Amino acid sequence: MANGTNNDPIENFSETDMDLKQLLKSITPDIYSRLKLGVEIGKWPDGKSLTSEQKELCMQAIIAYEQGIPEDQRTGYVPPKTTPCGPESVEPQLLAWKN
């Protein structure tokens, strides 16, 4: 990381966070999908509920993992609109005040 310009969230950990950095780099697609499902349904595969701390840590791991996959495959991705929301040739309608 030269001049603090590295945008990789995994690379920005300090030396004391080396174990966490190694853990995040070892996430496989299978582990990623299990973490994602756990956050979605609030349970581990064995049926036990995730604590709020576990949900938070899982979401952080998911976000870190998703930095290495294409944007259109990330959680919450919404593709850009290619057409306008409403009809293109709608004339503004004037309001008539009644007394």
Instruction: Report residue 80 CA to chain centroid gap.
Output: 17
Domain map (residue ranges) of the chain: 15-73
Give the mean model confidence (pLDDT) for residues 67-86: 87
Model confidence band, residue 7 (pLDDT cutoffs 50, 70, 90):
low
Contact call for residues 50 and 39 (beta carbons, < 8 A): yes
Per residue in 23-66, pLDDT (tens digit) is 888 899 999 999 999 999 999 989 999 999 999 999 999 999 99
Task: Note the pTM of the prediction, 2 decimals.
Answer: 0.62
- Exposure string over 27-53, b if 16+ CB within 10 A, otherwise e: beeeebeebbebbeeeeeeeeeebeee
Residue pointed to by tokens 């290619």: 82
